[in-house]
Every structure is written in C-alpha cells, then in structure tokens.
Amino acid sequence: MPTLPTSPAAGSTCGPATDELLAAARAWRDDDPDPATRAELDALIAAAEAGGDDGAGDVGEGQGDGEAARAELADRFAGMLEFGTAGLRGALGAGPRRMNRAVVIRAAAGLVAYLQAEGGRPDPAVVIGYDARHNSDVFARDTAAVVEAAGGSAMVLPRPLPTPVLAFAIRHLGADAGVMVTASHNPPQDNGYKVYLGDGSQIVPPVDAQIAAHIAAVASTGSVPMAEDGWDTLGDELLQAYVERAAAVVSPDAPRDVAVVHTALHGVGSQTLRMTFERAGFPAPQAVSSQEQPDPEFPTVTFPNPEEPGAIDAALALAAEVHPDVVVANDPDADRCAVAVDDHGTWRMLRGDELGALLGHAMIARLSARPDAERRVLASSIVSSRLLGAMARAAGLEHRETLTGFKWIARVPGLAYGYEEALGYCVDPDAVQDKDGVSAALLVVGLVAQLRAEGRTLLDVLDDLAVAHGVHATDALSVRVSDLALMPALMERLRGERPETIAGSPVERLDDLAAGVGGLPPTDGLRYHLADDSRVIVRPSGTEPKVKVYLEAIEPVDGAGDLARARATAAERLAAIKVDMAALTAL
C-alpha cells in the first residue's frame, strides 16, 4: 500500500508535506486499475505541481488552481475510506478516501481473507448484489473477480435489484456472506459497499474492525488476484423466490380492493414491487412515471430520500389528481418505505413512527391469531417512539429496544417485527433479516385494503392507538456540520453542560449511552428523561455529517373526546422541547 502522508497538506504550498502528498498520489495512481480514476489523479497531480510553490505575494496564473489541487489531494489522501458497520460509503472519485475500484478491490480482498481466517472457510460463498448507481455494476464485478481468484464462490444477482433481495438471497442460497453495492438514499455522487454475514444480518462490532484489519493488510491493489470469469450470474429464479415470499406477508383471504400510487425515486424498486403486488393479487400501483425508472443522477429530486422535504412531491401531486387510497414511496435501493395519506383533503406523509405503529398493529393482530408462533418479540431502536412498546405490553408480547440500525434490530432473538423511525421496517425476519421496503409496502397496503372494506382508514387506527396508549408525538432536528471534528466536540460539550430543565420540565435523568445503558452496547449518544415523561436523544449520524436530535412527548388521553386536546398539548410541548434543544445544540 502506498504510504499516506501523516499530516494532510491542505493549506500548505511547499515543503516536505507537499512532497509526501504528491508521492503518495503518484504511488496510488500507479496502482490504480481504473483508467478513469488514474486520469483524474494525473490531472490533480499536474495542477498541484504547476500551480506555483512559493506561497508568497499575489496568486499568479495557475497558482490558485495549484492550491485547490493540493487541498483536494490532501482530502483524498487523509487516510483510507473507513470500513465500519455500514461497510463503506463515500463520494465516487480517485484516491483512498473515495469510492473507486481500487478501494473496492481491497475491501473485497479483506472480506474474503476475514471469511477464510476467522470463519474457517477456505472456499467462502459470497452473494453479490448491486443497484443502478454509477459504477455499482463495476464494483460488483470486481468483488466477484476477487472472491473467485481467492478460491471462493461468487454469485451475482442478475441485474440491479433492491437491497432486500440481496439480504434474502444470502439465507436462501446458504451463502457465507453477502455484499450489496449501494449508497441507499445518499446523493448521486456517492456509492457504498454494505456487507452481510451468512445469517443475513449486517455486520456489527467487532467484525467490522476485524474485516478492516484484513483490508489494511492488503499491500497493494495490484497484488490482489482477480479472476477473469468463473462466477455465477444468478437467474430470475432467485428474484421469483423473493417475490413469492414477500407476497405471503398478506393473508390470501384478505381484501384486495385498493388503489395505490407508487414512486421509486429513480431507484431499483419499481419492478420488484410491481411483481410482488401482482403475485399477491393486488392491483398494480400507478407509478410516478418521471421517477419510475432507475437513473443514477436522480434528476427530479434534490436528495433521493423520502424523508427529505420535497422528495415525494411528485407522488403527492399525482395522488391529488387520481385520488388513490394510499401513496407508497421507496428509497433508491428499496429497503425503506414511506407512506402518505389523505388527511382531510391534504396529502401528507406519515412519520416513520406512525407507520411503525401501524405495521406493529398489523403484526400484533397476526400474532394474536397465532398464539403458537415461534417469533413473538417486537423491537424498535432507542430513537424510535415508545408507542410500540406500549402496544406490545398491552398485547402480552415482549418488546426490546436496540441501538440505532437494523444491524442491531434484526439480531433480537425471537424477532417477529422490528422498525426504526427512519422508515425502516422488518415484517418477515425469517426471510429478510433486515429492513425491507417492498414487503413493508405490501403489508401496509393490505392493511389499507382491509380498513377500506370496513369503511375506515389508517388515520382511524392511529386515533385508536392514541386513545388506548396516549398520544406519542415525535419530531427531530439535525445539526449539520462542515467539519466532522465538530461532531465529537459538540457531544463532549453536551456531556459537560447538563440543563436543569428542558421546555420547563426538569431533567430527571441523563443517560450517557457511551457507557452502555440498560444492557445496550456502548454508543456515542445522550438520552434525557424529563419529569413530564418526554424524552430527548442526541447522537451523531452514522452516515452523514450531522448530529441528530430525536424528540418525544407523551400525553395521556381520556377517551376519544379528549383526543384533540391531548394532541394539541403534546404538540405544544414538543415544539417547546425543539426550541430548547436547537439552542442547546447550536454550534
């Protein structure tokens, strides 16, 4: 591996740091198997060399470009793109801190070495999936070439498909591991590399560090053997098996009369969702045509995440024209699901916690009808609403809280259903031990059809749940940072500045999640418990440069006639908490 500079040279115009940086860039370029990223580095190196080196006086012709090139190189060579529990994720481009073929080949070699050394499998079977982002197919092919050359068996999905199809394939095919090339809902310039183990679950510590150590041991990209061919490109039988299983989440004798608008947000979910609806006997959803086909540029959205403002505006506009019963949206790799409903003449997207409660309601009804079911545990992340826990207790079921992320939720023993507020839902963990936006979409549409036959809606169920368990009002805010170093600094400041009250309610307890609380593994985060039963959690994002703040206020309801008052009171408290937390977390 080329030696990376110990001190990035951003802001430096001359001397050993720049020499070291340029030497590292040349070494990486010479080891890069991709002509496109080699040329990209060549251009940056040339600009850095030609842009002047005295750093004094006015910036002459070319020197400004040289400064910019050196700063760009310093960023790209300030260490390797970190491999963690989310695998790899970052901007496409040349250099060790970008997503490119050289980085992916090293990651694949490290994964295979881990499976061979730690898993005791000299011939590991790895199934590989990919979405329609830039270079996803190339990264999948490179991974297959590395697995085959190392003595393993690589199986590649037949075309760009949703992440849950890959998660399903691992168990269905009995593979030792799986790789999904996707950046999920990140911006167009990103790509990623998600790793699963043979049980179909995402990796957790210490496995991520062990794989990272094997990646770090790769001497150079050129030293990694790569097969020309030999891997197995899977046929449509695998997709059909997934569709068959996903379609079974709805009872065969349940109503099917329902109209749906669907958007895939330029991702890979349209075909698979349509096939699943058809197999389950539901009418085909009406697609948002401008967003139906995969497009790595995501031209109609600023940010291809259903949670982001404006992302599903096209779907809501279509709904206003055609008046469906429900709107469903998937993120680009279709592992997340969002739902919008007609709320007194205005279409609005349900919060992730609202949909989590509705799906939980459907799963509790199913479990109540099957008292002999082996899986009877409901789970949600610590940043999700506490409503699911209340529902589970009322039904005599166990509820578990986990750390954020399906790498934790999916590992809960006896899991029947799990969700996190960021639109992730697992409704069939025996088949897909991860969030699945396709099966979740079908289950909620099945619920809509059942309620339609009864003359009711999803909003009626939410009213019922509020009356039974109290209003659980949730909200969130994000503190975006330009410098990642600001996130740990903010967390440390919050640890040292415990407020006496938030929104007028005393802070009864502050949990530092880094110490491990309630049997949870340690994680960077703070949890505030207020005297009025409100709760606040602050944690750094694992995928974006921001600190996230999760808010919940609970207000008891004294019968259906008290519901409007309770909702208004909870909303007022939540708004006040948000104001105070915005001030507390301001940079």
Instruction: Tell me the pLDDT tens digit for each residue of 173-183.
Output: 999 999 999 99
Which residues are identified as catalytic? 184
How confident is the prediction for the chain on average, in pLDDT? 94
Contact 383, 362 (CB under 8 A): no
Flag the least confident range among 15-19, 68-72, 383-387. 15-19
Contact 463, 563 (CB under 8 A): yes
The predicted pLDDT at position 64 comes to 62
Percent of the chain with pLDDT over 70: 95
The predicted pLDDT at position 542 comes to 73
Flag the least confident range among 52-56, 206-210, 569-573. 52-56
| 465-480 mean pLDDT | 96
Helices then strands, each counted (H, E), the chain = 17, 21
**What are the tokens at 15?**
């001397």
With H, G, I as helix, E, B as strand and everything else as coil, classify residue 480: strand
The predicted pLDDT at position 545 comes to 82
The predicted pLDDT at position 336 comes to 98
Contact 32, 38 (CB under 8 A): yes
- Using pLDDT thresholds of 50, 70 and 90, give the confidence band for residue 62: very low
Please determine, for residue 91, whether its predicted confidence score (pLDDT) is greater than 90: yes
C-alpha pair distances (Å), 164 with each of 223, 271, 446, 583: 33, 14, 20, 39
- Using pLDDT thresholds of 50, 70 and 90, give the confidence band for residue 60: very low
Please determine, for residue 2, whether its predicted confidence score (pLDDT) is greater than 70: no
With H, G, I as helix, E, B as strand and everything else as coil, classify residue 270: helix
Domains and CATH numbers, the chain: 16-76 (no CATH), 88-234 (3.40.120.10), 240-465 (3.40.120.10), 470-584 (3.30.310)
Q: How far is the C-alpha of 250 from the C-alpha of 444, rounded, in Å?
A: 9
The predicted pLDDT at position 125 comes to 98
HSE-up of residue 504 (Cα within 13 Å, Cβ side): 5
230: left (phi over 0), alpha (psi -120 to 50) or beta: left
**What are the strands of the beta sheet with 377-381, ordered from one edge?**
398-402, 377-381, 415-420, 424-426
**What are the tokens at 548?**
């996230």
> Strands, E, within 331-465: which ranges?
337-343, 346-349, 377-381, 398-402, 415-420, 424-426
| 368-388 mean pLDDT | 93
pTM for the model? 0.94
Contact 198, 170 (CB under 8 A): yes
Q: How far is the C-alpha of 168 from the C-alpha of 508, rounded, in Å?
A: 44
Q: How far is the C-alpha of 513 from the C-alpha of 525, rounded, in Å?
A: 5
Q: Which of 244, 290, 234 lies closest to 265 in space, CA to CA?
A: 290
